Amino acid sequence: MTMDRSAFGKVAVLMGGASAEREVSLMSGGGVLAALRASGVDAHAFDPAQRALGELRSEGFARCFIALHGRFGEDGTVQGALELLGIPYTGSGVMASAIAIDKVMTKRVWNAEGLPTPRHVLLRRGRYDPSQVLAVPDTLGLPVIVKPAREGSSIGLAKVRAAAQMPDAVAQAAQLDADILCEQCIVGEEVTCPVIGTGDDARALPVIRIQAPDGNYDYQHKYFTNDTKYLVPCGLPAGEEEAIQALVLRAYRVLGCRGWGRVDVMIDGATRRPYLLEINTSPGMTSHSLVPMSARAAGLSYEALCVQLLSMAALDHPPAAPREKAAP
């Protein structure tokens, strides 16, 4: 991609933040910052947990690369602040970010659009009793996936194999979120598929098949070990990769996402039917992250990917051009 890097102006890479994924965000942001600087971009680190966002305007930043993960960075809050400041930013806008961070709201939209996603039961902290918790497996079967509705990186997630494990799993998730998502466990293959672009111009990158030890793709195996295998090309049967890419594009577009994202999918091992799990609107950009891996398989280097994403920075509501005064 050929473009004048100076046209980006002064760029803030937003990293760190106050969510439970702060550590991963710092790793993502560090990688993005180094890549943009190596590409000739005037990029600077900016941690919203340590500095007021208003400094972005007073210090003359022209656009932001959002490398924040989770709440206060991927949930529409920072996006809304940047809209008010009038500073274009990477990734989805306010509404799409707010919906996508909430796994239950995402499911509701996908269900309304007829897109396949595992069945679920929603429990709200302080509004359920022990009998309701123990009854979840009767509705969803076993095993059951229990997780906070608005956390990422598998933080707070538990795979429940016996009904007696439900109370502890729900209590763990409830420490992180008032909404606890109990989800049907789809047994089969786990894949993920990144998307780059907006609307009709959005395109799906190669699908990655994930093989974690004992099927346990948790926080540790995502970021801090080399035990997980990532297959790209994914090696799925003929036609399955294309079908998943088409499904992922629909899931991305109906939520109104823009810029980039990554959709996680489970393939039922018996029926080969894909099920949408969740969407990440500010995916990881660490050395273990999946979007750079998929992009590389499509011929796009890490540096080129960062520059392309930055080039798509935008506002939901860009300021209108000043109207010319009528001649007297």
Instruction: Compute, in degrees rounded to 10, the torsion defined by CA atoms 97, 193, 200, 110.
Output: -60
Residue 303 annotated in active site: no
Residue 31 annotated in active site: no
48 CB contacts (<8 Å, ≥6 apart)? 14, 16, 17, 18, 68, 72, 73, 78
d(C-alpha 217, C-alpha 215), whole Å: 6
Residue 296 annotated in active site: no
Sign of CA dihedral 290, 291, 292, 294: positive
d(C-alpha 93, C-alpha 136), whole Å: 35
Residue 242 annotated in active site: no
Catalytic residue among 284, 289, 294, 303: 284
Judge if the upstream peptide bond of residue 318 is cis by omega within 30 degrees of 0.
no
Catalytic residue among 16, 17, 21, 91: 21
Residue 278 annotated in active site: yes
Residue 190 annotated in active site: no
Q: Compute CA distances 179 → 154, 167, 251, whole Å.
A: 15, 15, 22
Catalytic residue among 28, 153, 282, 289: 153
Catalytic residue among 25, 28, 39, 280: 280
Catalytic residue among 47, 74, 264, 303: 264
Q: How far is Cα of residue 217 from the mean position of the Cα atoms in its chain?
A: 16
Residue with tokens 């969510």: 19
d(C-alpha 10, C-alpha 63), whole Å: 7
Residue 183 annotated in active site: no
Catalytic residue among 17, 71, 217, 223: 223
Catalytic residue among 74, 151, 241, 278: 278
Catalytic residue among 63, 150, 258, 262: 262
Q: How far is Cα of residue 31 from the mean position of the Cα atoms in its chain?
A: 17
According to DSSP, the β-strands at 144-148 and 179-184 are antiparallel
The runs of H, that is alpha helices, within the chain are 22-38, 54-58, 77-85, 94-101, 103-112, 130-140, 166-174, 219-223, 240-254, 290-297, 302-311
Residue 113 annotated in active site: no
Residue with tokens 């993960």: 69
Tell me which residues are annotated as active site.
21, 153, 223, 262, 264, 278, 280, 284
